[in-house]
């Protein structure tokens, strides 16, 4: 899924405003690029590739669009006009 609207890491992760990380302080929209450029441990272990922020803002192969939308709805960031699948068609892993 490539998002119609890009969300920042701190919006999706809902991290503490009183204890901001470098990405939030510098208002870096693509945190995974900053992590890679600054040789942070998250990138070395491939954590960015599995992060909901990365998955939402890039082509995603781990979650269906519906599953991503459910995560964003749960965080109050996305109000889709979608037809939810029938019960049993898909599972929610949040």
How many other C-beta atoms are found inside a 10 Å radius of the C-beta of residue 87? Answer: 6
Segments forming the whole domain that contains residue 61: 9-74
Closest CA to 53 of 84, 91, 11: 11
Question: Which tens digit of pLDDT belongs to each residue from 43-86?
Answer: 667 778 788 888 888 876 778 888 888 888 888 876 655 444 44
Q: What's the pTM? A: 0.63
How many other C-beta atoms are found inside a 10 Å radius of the C-beta of residue 32? Answer: 21
Q: Rounded distance, CA 82 to CA 94, Å?
A: 18
Domain membership flag for residue 46: yes
The answer to whether 3 touches 57, Cβ cutoff 8 Å, is: yes
Domain membership flag for residue 85: no
The answer to whether 56 touches 3, Cβ cutoff 8 Å, is: yes
Domain membership flag for residue 89: no
């Amino acid at each position: 899924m490539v998002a119609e609207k890009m969300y920042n890491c701190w919006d999706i992760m809902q991290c503490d405003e009183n204890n901001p990380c470098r990405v939030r302080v510098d208002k870096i929209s693509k945190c995974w690029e900053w992590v890679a450029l600054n040789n942070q441990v998250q990138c070395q272990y491939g954590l960015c590739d599995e992060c909901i922020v990365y998955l939402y803002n890039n082509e995603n192969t781990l979650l269906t669009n519906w599953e991503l939308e459910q995560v964003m709805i749960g965080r109050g960031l996305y109000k889709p006009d979608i037809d939810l699948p029938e019960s049993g068609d898909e599972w929610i892993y949040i």
